[in-house]
Amino acid sequence: MNIPVSVFIARDSFLLAFPALFSIVNPLGASIIFLQAAEAHTIAERAVLARTVALYSFVLLVVSVWAGSVVLAFFGVSINALRVAGGLVVAVRAWTMLQSPEATEQRRQKQVMQDGQPVVSPHWNDIAFFPLTMPFTVGPGSISVAIALSSGENGTHFFAWETGLSVAAGAVAGVVWVAYAYAERLTAMLGVTGTRILSRLAALILLTIGVQIFAGGIMGFATAFYRSLH
């Protein structure tokens, strides 16, 4: 049985996107801060919050994947330029995470806290989108990664590539759901040291992916330049 090429394209995009999105979102590390932000809520309320945040995160990532490259193309930004810029953004963000995960934790804490206290709302579910989804779970860095990944294929296999990215976004959102819903257990199991070790490993993976995206853009420019000479 002949397997369509589009299946392999979707598989490759998933295998590239899942570790990249997982690393930048870092749901395991974020679950500790989520628990702090939602500590005043019951276990049942935290479970609903986790599910809602995961759904919103999936929507934001998928919109970034499908619409990001289209919007940039509308403004005349080439795919290779997007790869170079996106790769740089991803690599710089990963380098920061790798050097100082504590600074990343402090930044995310500020996003969900006011004067050291969890953000409150007349209805607890009102905080699900802001600030718990954006910018806490899916911030500018995650959106930049999603847009950069969408530049991987702009030819006949565009839809297969984007589908693989969408499945990866769904998988990451699923991990967010589980990690946030069981944040108390994860915190007890991993602890602060364990999550920082995982954060550094994730940052290293993200750094290599950023370099790969950047190199793809440079190779694209070099190939186009070479062809223009012949």
* Predicted local distance difference test score (pLDDT) of residue 190: 83
Comparing 204 with 103, the larger pLDDT belongs to: 204
Residue 95 neighbours by CB distance under 10 Å: 15
CA distances from 192 to 24, 32, 176, 196 (A): 18, 8, 18, 6
**What pLDDT does residue 3 have?**
83
**Residue in 211, 225, 201 with CA at minimum distance from that of residue 84:** 211
pLDDT digits (tens, 9 = 90+) for 142-178: 998 898 898 777 677 889 999 999 999 999 999 999 9
Give me the pLDDT at residue 107, please.
64
Could you tell me the two tokens for 119? 């953000």
- Please tell me the predicted confidence (pLDDT) of residue 25: 93
Each residue of 95-152: pLDDT tens digit? 888 887 666 666 666 666 555 555 555 555 678 898 889 988 998 889 988 988 987 7
pLDDT of residue 101: 66
- Can you give the pTM of this predicted structure? 0.84
Quick one: how many helices (H) and strands (E) in the chain?
A: 8, 2
Element (H, E) at 38: none
pLDDT tens readout for residues 42-64: 888 899 999 999 999 999 999 99
Mention every residue, 6+ apart, whose C-beta is less than 8 A from residue 105: 29, 32, 33, 196
Q: Is the pLDDT of residue 31 over 80?
A: yes
- Residue 123's φ and ψ, nearest 5 degrees, are -120, 125
Mean pLDDT over each residue of the chain, to the nearest integer: 85
Residue 188's pLDDT band (cuts 50, 70, 90): confident
Nearest CA-CA partner of 169 in 192, 133, 194, 142: 142
Does the pLDDT value for residue 224 go beyond 70? yes
Domain residues for 113?
5-228
As for how many domains the chain has, the answer is 1
